């Protein structure tokens, strides 16, 4: 019974390159959340998606960041032209979408380092 999977676990990019982070939700889950964690900080919400739809992207930076959750395949968080400040751990969580009592299950995260 696989949990939420994320890959790669570690990603190193040089400034100006693109970073693609993948998230496969738990089986049967159609709701995906992305969060970012800076060192010694809590997780900060970025974006919430359901299959093929972005529901809430209020936590996403306005430029360079995008997310998708296609009908088939994993959810992708894409960061274009990365800068040093993008270095962080990025977590996705999936859920069944049961309203206020919904439980989010987190993946192990992708640790992005920008050189």
Partner 1 sequence: GQQLNQSPQSMFIQEGEDVSMNCTSSSIFNTWLWYKQDPGEGPVLLIALYKAGELTSNGRLTAQFGITRKDSFLNISASIPSDVGIYFCAGPNYTGANSKLTFGKGITLSVRP
10 Å CB burial of residue 94 (0-12, 13-18, 19+) is buried
DSSP 25: P
Cβ-based nearer residue to partner 1, 45 or 68: 45
- Per CB under 8 A, does 53 bind partner 1? no
- Per CB under 8 A, does 1 bind partner 1? no
φ/ψ (deg, to 5) at 9:
-75, -35
Interface pick for partner 1 out of 48, 60, 65, 69 (rule CB under 8 A): 48
**Pairing assessment for the beta strands 110-114 and 88-95 based on DSSP bridges:** antiparallel
Q: How far is the CB of 47 from partner 1 (least distance, A)?
A: 9
User: For binding to partner 1 (CB under 8 A), which residues are involved?
Assistant: 4, 6, 33, 35, 40-45, 48, 55-56, 59, 91, 93, 95, 97, 99-109, 111
């Amino acid at each position: 019974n696989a949990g939420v999977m994320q890959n790669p676990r570690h990603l190193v990019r040089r400034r100006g390159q693109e970073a693609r982070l993948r998230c496969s939700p738990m089986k049967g889950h159609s709701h995906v959340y992305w969060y970012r964690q800076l060192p010694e900080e809590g997780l900060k919400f970025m974006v919430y998606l359901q299959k093929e739809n972005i529901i809430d992207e209020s936590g996403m930076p306005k430029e360079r960041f995008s997310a998708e959750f296609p009908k088939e395949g994993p959810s992708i968080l894409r960061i274009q032209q990365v800068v040093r400040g993008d270095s962080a751990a990025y977590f996705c969580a999936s859920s069944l979408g049961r309203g206020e009592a919904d439980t989010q299950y987190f993946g192990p995260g992708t640790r992005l380092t920008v050189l």
